[in-house]
Amino acid sequence: MSNKLYIHSRRLLVVLALSSFTCSFAREFQKMDPPKVLSYFPSHCYLKASEVSEIRLHFSHPMETECTEEAFSLKTNTTPLPGTFRWEERDRTLIFSPLAPLKDKQTYTLSVSSTAEDRWGNSLLEEFNHVFHTKEEIAPPNVLTFYPDSGAKITHSRHPIGVTFSEPMDRESILRSFSLTPSLPGVFSFGANSDSFVWSPMVPYRQGETYQVTIRKDACDSSGNCLVEEFRFSFQMIQTETKILSVVCSSNGTVLLPTTPGTYVNPSLRIEKNEAFRIRFTTPVDPETRDAILTIHPATAYRMDWNTTGDEVLLYFPEPLVWNAVYELQILSSLYRFRVNGPLSIPPEVRRILYLPDTTTEPTAYEELLFCHNYTFPDSAFAAFDVYISLVPGASIVTSSFLSSFSIETGNGCLDLRLLRVEENPNSPPPKPYPPIQEGDMPLNVQVFRVHCRITSVFSSGTVTITLRKELQDNLGNHLSQPYTLIVNKQ
């Protein structure tokens, strides 16, 4: 018997050793990708020498410090500069401090050769080089790209104008130097580092008109260097024959009509939060202009699925639209306006909360809690709160969703309140029926959650706060439109 135990023990040790080796090998295998430089300082090409007291390189992996320091160099012309090294962030950040301060009006080359290795012996993915200058920049900027193309014929009545420069520009000089002829009002938006801008017209281009974009020579970069010469290009808004045949709600076939003067929103429309629209055109839309044929306000992410002939598109939204919000949909030169008010998108609403001092008594006593009113909350082992929530017909809220969004707190610890359990739609109804709907209101269902609790009075006065957060959700994906908070006084 003891021999068998000894044999089994040895097998177990072998299995454990193999398992440990396999896990260790798997962890080491994950470290076989080569390291790379994630960030560095200085990162700008032009700066003052006084701004550079040290060089910093941040790597993707912990590095082997000795060989990485050997692979590092900082040179002016071809002369390496001496300095000292130190490491931070567990050998992921190298810091080089030159022995002598850098000089103005010099060009420096920062390099790390591919012989640099990480802690696991993987060489740098590729040699790293960065050139910077300790002097003012004198090179003038130039235009790299722009749109629409010069001589282009556009069909979108509010096609944006975009220009990209060779370096970051002074925004004020761009605003002064830009012009469009014939003139139209518009708005500017700039790229993150100011090397590009987009100008969007606030009114449609006139069909058949040719427009000229001019950027004068006084457009300057961030160092004050201006364009060498004035930059111009032109495009034409053509007389397009493409028109909208129809805009139809995909879910029910309801036709969306263009907004007419004097009207705001068609009150008969019932648009759901996840509605999609099928748009048909008289002729195929040019693939190059499809992304620019429509805009939506407020700005909302959307997707477009075109048919093979290009004369029909399905417009849909990856995220639900906002309940009761009014959206403006600009398609070509037509404006459509709708409100999200469909019956299946009505959000849950907390209608009232009743307090039950003792659920075991017959008949059960109920007291509706009203904001800032006074209540006694006597000691009770069988107290409860009934939370009434209105829902669209066919919708329901699962208990877990209610529990994750519900909370009850007592100010200054006036009550020792222990939650026991939650009961959905209790059998004993309140003494008065739920208020009937008013004329013109949409009939809604009501779901009741009874929160059983034990209450012990601690202090004679304080507050009780009941909260339901926006996370409360029904099975149709509708949330509370805003958090619900009820505060009452304990006397």
pLDDT at 354: 94
Do the first three CATH levels of 244-344 and 346-430+442-490 match, i.e. the same topology?
yes
- CA 324 to chain CA centroid, Å, is 21
Report the alpha-carbon distance of residue 357 to residue 454 in Å, rounded.
10
Condensed to tens digits (0 to 9), the pLDDT of residues 426-442 reads: 876 665 555 555 555 56
Q: Which of the pair, 386 or 44, is modelled with greater confidence?
A: 386
CA angle in degrees (0–180, nearest 5) for 166-124-71: 90
Confidence of residue 2 (pLDDT cuts 50, 70, 90): very low
Burial of 434 (0-12, 13-18, 19+ CB in 10 A): middle
Token pair of 188, please? 């500017």
The closest alpha carbon to 178, from 238, 139, 228, 220, belongs to 220
Up-side HSE of residue 473: CA atoms within 13 Å toward CB? Answer: 8
Pairing of strands 231-237, 349-356: unpaired
pLDDT at 6: 42
CATH number of 346-430+442-490: 2.60.40
pLDDT above 50 (res 322): yes
CATH number of 244-344: 2.60.40.3710
Tell me the mean pLDDT in the region 206-222: 93
pLDDT at 18: 42
Domain residue extents for the chain: 37-133, 143-237, 244-344, 346-430+442-490
Condensed to tens digits (0 to 9), the pLDDT of residues 45-85 reads: 878 899 999 999 999 999 999 999 999 999 998 899 999 99
CA angle in degrees (0–180, nearest 5) for 380-383-389: 165
Q: Which residues pair with 350 in a beta bridge?
A: 389
Token pair of 29, please? 């295998």
Average pLDDT of the residues of the chain: 88
Question: 353 CB contacts (<8 Å, ≥6 apart)?
Answer: 368, 369, 385, 386, 387, 388, 466, 486
- State the DSSP code for 413: G
Q: Looking at domain 37-133, which of 2.60.110.10, 2.60.40.3710, 1.10.286.10, 3.90.650.10 is its CATH number?
A: 2.60.40.3710
pLDDT > 90 in the chain, percent = 70
The closest alpha carbon to 296, from 319, 312, 263, belongs to 319
Per-residue burial over 2-26, b if 16 or more Cβ lie within 10 Å, else e, is eeeeeeeeeeeeeeeeeeeeeeeee
Task: Provide long-range contacts, Cβ within 8 A and 24+ apart, for 406-410.
Answer: 406/449, 406/451, 406/466, 406/467, 406/468, 406/472, 407/466, 407/467, 407/469, 408/451, 408/453, 408/464, 408/465, 408/466, 408/467, 409/464, 409/465, 409/467, 410/462, 410/463, 410/464, 410/465, 410/490
Q: Looking at domain 143-237, which of 1.10.340.30, 2.60.40.3710, 2.40.110.10, 3.40.50.1820 is its CATH number?
A: 2.60.40.3710
Query: Both ends of the chain: CA-CA distance in Å?
Result: 76
Contact in structure between 283 and 241 (CB atoms under 8 Å): yes
Contact in structure between 381 and 423 (CB atoms under 8 Å): no
Give the strands of the sheet with 196-201, arranged side by side: 143-147, 161-165, 196-201, 186-190
pLDDT at 437: 55
Condensed to tens digits (0 to 9), the pLDDT of residues 420-478 reads: 999 998 876 665 555 555 555 567 888 999 999 999 999 989 999 999 999 999 999 99
pLDDT above 90 (res 482): yes
pLDDT at 15: 40
**Side chain identity at residue 140, one-letter code:** P
Question: 226 CB contacts (<8 Å, ≥6 apart)?
Answer: 140, 141, 173, 217, 218, 219, 220
Condensed to tens digits (0 to 9), the pLDDT of residues 99-149 reads: 999 998 888 999 999 999 999 999 998 999 999 988 777 789 999 999 999
CA quadruple 109, 114, 116, 120: dihedral sign: positive
Longest dimension (CA), the chain: 102
pLDDT > 70 in the chain, percent = 90
User: Taking the CA atoms of the chain, what radius of gyration do you get in angstroms?
Assistant: 35
